């Protein structure tokens, strides 16, 4: 079930909730312009979250190079292999990222363990935000 936007009842500055079910004390927002603006805000937030995740991932790989776990070439190959996935995550397209990673083959240092960890993060993000 898709989440919808709800506005807190009887408040001068009402809270807005993005939820699957109508919270007690909230009314469904039906104004199309407001829904558009709120949804646009969701995309901005999802992109920020994606950029944060991507930068953490890159930082971890750089630290792996420093610690001698991977070589520069191995990480370069990994980044190249995950290029489309990275674009979707940074863009905040988490549902598309889920599809993208499911179609990625294991290659080089992109092991099943790494794929499972990224997939679990994406799945959790979608569960909590869509």
pTM, entire model:
0.88
pLDDT tens for 38-55 read: 999 999 999 999 999 999
Distance from C-alpha of 20 to C-alpha of 2, rounded to nearest angstrom: 6
pLDDT at 1: 65
CB 76 within 8 A of CB 64: no
pLDDT at 21: 94
Domain residue ranges in the chain: 45-129
Torsion of CA 5, 8, 11, 12, to 10 degrees: -10
C-alpha distances out from residue 9 to 2, 24, 27, 67, 120, Å: 22, 9, 6, 55, 36
């Amino acid at each position: 079930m898709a989440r919808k936007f709800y506005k807190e009842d009887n408040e001068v500055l009402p809270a807005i909730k993005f939820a699957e079910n109508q919270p007690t004390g909230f009314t469904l927002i039906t104004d199309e312009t407001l829904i558009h603006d709120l949804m646009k805000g969701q995309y901005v937030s999802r992109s920020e979250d994606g950029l944060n995740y991507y930068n953490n991932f890159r930082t971890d790989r750089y630290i792996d190079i420093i610690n001698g776990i991977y070589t520069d070439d191995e990480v370069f190959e990994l980044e190249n292999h995950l290029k489309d996935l990275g674009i979707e995550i940074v863009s905040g397209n988490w549902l598309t990222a889920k599809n993208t990673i499911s179609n990625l083959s294991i290659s080089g240092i992109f092991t099943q363990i790494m794929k499972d960890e990224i997939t679990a993060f994406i799945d959790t993000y979608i569960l909590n935000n869509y």
